[in-house]
Amino acid sequence: MSQRNGISWRFGLNKTILHVDINSYFATVLQQENPLLQNRPLGVTKGRGRTCLIATSKEAKQFGISTGMRRSEGVVLCPQLLCIPASFERCLDATKRLQKVFKTIAPSIYIYSLDEAFIDISDCRKNLYPDAKKLGKEIQNLIKKELGSWVTCNVGIAENRLLAKMASEVAPKGAVLEVTEENKDALLATTEFKDVCGVGYRLAKKLARFHVQYPYQIRFIPQEELAIVVGPFWAKELLKIAYGKETHLLNQLDRELPHMKSVGRSITGYRLHEDDAEITNILKNLCLEVIDKVRNMNLAGRQVWLGLYGRNEYWDTHETLQIPINHSSELLLWIQQLYTRWTKKFPVIKFAIRLSLLENQIQEQLLPQWQKQEVVQKALDDLNRKYGLFTIHPAAIPPKEELIFPEVTGFLGDRLYQLRDSD
C-alpha cells in the first residue's frame, strides 16, 4: 500500500470500482410494492401460465428454491410457495431510477444488468470519497430512500470490475465488502467459479472434473496443460482471473457500442395457437414493440423477417426492401404480406419477427403518403413515451387487456433502447 497526497492507494493504483447488486431484484420489487408479499417465499414466473421460476425471493431461497426451477419442484421444497408473474415494466423503471441515483455519485457508471451497476469513483475518491466503505453504506441508504426500505443490496469495492463483482457476489446479503491487498488472495482462494463473472456453468463443470474449484488454484497449473483442457483463449483468461486481473469480457464494457444491426421480438406461449386471428393479433402486437425500439434509436430497417414455431415444425420467410421503414403501419403491412406465404400451416407456440439491415434515421421523404404516416407515428411516439407503451395504438391491434407487453432481459442486451430516457 502506498501513500499519495495523504491518501492510501491500495495496489499502487488510482482505481476504485464499486459493484452494486440488488438482492433478489424481481421478487424484491414486487414485495416492496405489495407489503402482503413481504416475508413470504415468492417465486416469480415470466408471465401468466408459465411454470419456470425466473427469480425467487430471499425467503424462498432459504428453502433451497433457486432460479430455473419448475413451480412443481419449488412447491415440494416449500408448500407455501407463492408464484406470481414478473412485472418487467416496474423493474425497468426501478433500474432507471437507480441509474439516476448512481449518476449523483460519479459520472462514470455502467448499468451491467437490471439489478447490477459498476460505479467508477477513481476520479472522485481523493476529494469526495476517501472512505469507500462509508460510500458503500451511503449507496445502500440512497437505494432504500429511492426504491423503498425493503430493497437491499450488496456493494463490492475493488481495484477493478472483476474483483468488485466477485466481492458483491460472496458478501452476506445487504453487506459491503472491500477487496484489499490483504484479503485479495483469500477471496480468490475461496470464491467458487460459479461466482466469477464470465465463467459459465459448463466451464466451471469442466474445471471441477479436474478438482479445480477456485481461481487461486489456476496459478499452480502450467498454462500449456490448462490450454489442453479449456483451449488457449480460456487458459489465458483463467490465469488473469487467478491473479484478480480484468478479463477480456469486462474490458469490452469500455468500447463504444455501434448502433444495433437488427431489432427482433419473439414470444413463446403456454399453449398452441391454431386460429388465424389469434396468431396475427400476436404478430401485430410484436410489430408495435419492434417499431418503438427502432424509432427510439433513430433507426430504420430494410429487411423484414417472420418466423413461426410449432411443437416440432418450423417456418420462416423474409423480404428485403429497397427503402428502409420505421412506421408501425409499414411493418404491419409487410408482416401481413409475409404471413400469406405460410401455406402448410401447423399449431404455433412461438412467434418471432425481426427488422434488420438497420441504418441511421432516413431523411424525410417528399411523398405525401410517407409524410402523413410520419405525422401520425410521431404523435403515437410522443403519447406512448409520456404515458407508457401501447397507451394509444392502431385499432387493428388487440384491446389493451390482451396486449403482450415488452419483456426485459436481466442482462439488458438492448440497453441502448431501454436506458435511453435515463441519460
Q: pLDDT by residue (tens digit) across 195-244?
A: 899 898 899 999 999 999 999 999 999 999 999 999 999 999 999 999 99
Q: Is the pLDDT of residue 12 over 50?
A: no
Q: Which of 91-95, 193-197, 234-238, 410-414 has the lowest mean pLDDT?
A: 410-414
Who wins on pLDDT, 187 or 252?
A: 187
Instruction: Give the confidence band of 88 by pLDDT, cuts at 50, 70, 90.
Output: confident
Q: What is the mean pLDDT of residues 256-270?
A: 80
Strands 53-56 and 348-356: unpaired
Phi (first) and psi of residue 274, to 5 degrees: -120, -20
pLDDT per residue as tens digits for the range 285-301: 899 889 988 888 888 99
Q: What is the mean pLDDT of residues 44-57?
A: 85
Instruction: Identify the architecture of domain 185-255 in CATH.
Output: Orthogonal Bundle (1.10)
Percentage of the residues of the chain whose pLDDT score is greater than 70: 87
Instruction: Give the confidence band of 67 by pLDDT, cuts at 50, 70, 90.
Output: confident
Q: Which residue ranges does the chain devote to CATH 3.40.1170.60? A: 25-88
Q: What is the mean pLDDT of residues 184-194?
A: 95
Q: Is the pLDDT of residue 365 over 60?
A: yes
- What pLDDT, on the 0 to 100 scale, is given for residue 8? 37
Strands 299-309 and 359-360: antiparallel
Closest CA to 30 of 100, 118, 93, 99: 93
- What pLDDT, on the 0 to 100 scale, is given for residue 373? 83
Phi (first) and psi of residue 244, to 5 degrees: 70, 30
CATH of domain 262-422: 3.30.1490.100
Q: Nine-digit cell at 43? A: 417465486
Q: Is the pLDDT of residue 344 over 70?
A: yes
Kindly state the helix (H) or strand (E) to which residue 166 belongs, with its residue range.
helix 161-170
Question: 310-325 burial, b if ≥16 CB within 10 A, otherwise e?
Answer: beeeebeeeeeeeebb
pLDDT per residue as tens digits for the range 288-341: 889 988 888 888 999 999 999 999 999 999 999 988 999 998 999 999 999 999
Q: Which of 42-51, 279-288, 338-347 has the lowest mean pLDDT?
A: 42-51
Instruction: Give the confidence band of 375 by pLDDT, cuts at 50, 70, 90.
Output: confident
Who wins on pLDDT, 311 or 411?
A: 311
Region of 411 (left: φ > 0; alpha: ψ -120 to 50; beta: rest) is alpha
**Amino acid identity at 61:** K
Q: What is the mean pLDDT of residues 167-183?
A: 95
Q: How does the average pLDDT of the chain come out, rounded?
A: 86
Which burial class, exposed, middle or buried, applies to 43 when counting CB atoms under 10 A from its CB (0-12, 13-18, 19+)?
buried
- What pLDDT, on the 0 to 100 scale, is given for residue 396? 67
Q: What is the mean pLDDT of residues 365-374?
A: 76
Percentage of the residues of the chain whose pLDDT score is greater than 90: 60
Who wins on pLDDT, 366 or 159?
A: 159
pTM value?
A: 0.75
Q: Which residue ranges does the chain devote to CATH 1.10.150.20? A: 185-255
Q: Which residue ranges does the chain devote to CATH 3.30.1490.100? A: 262-422
Kindly state the helix (H) or strand (E) to which residue 348 belongs, with its residue range.
strand 348-356
- What pLDDT, on the 0 to 100 scale, is given for residue 161? 95
DSSP string, 286-304: HHHHHHHHHHHTTEEEEEE
Q: Which of 46-50, 63-67, 297-301, 355-359 has the lowest mean pLDDT?
A: 46-50
Instruction: Identify the architecture of domain 25-88 in CATH.
Output: 3-Layer(aba) Sandwich (3.40)
Q: What are residue 14's DSSP bridge partners? A: none
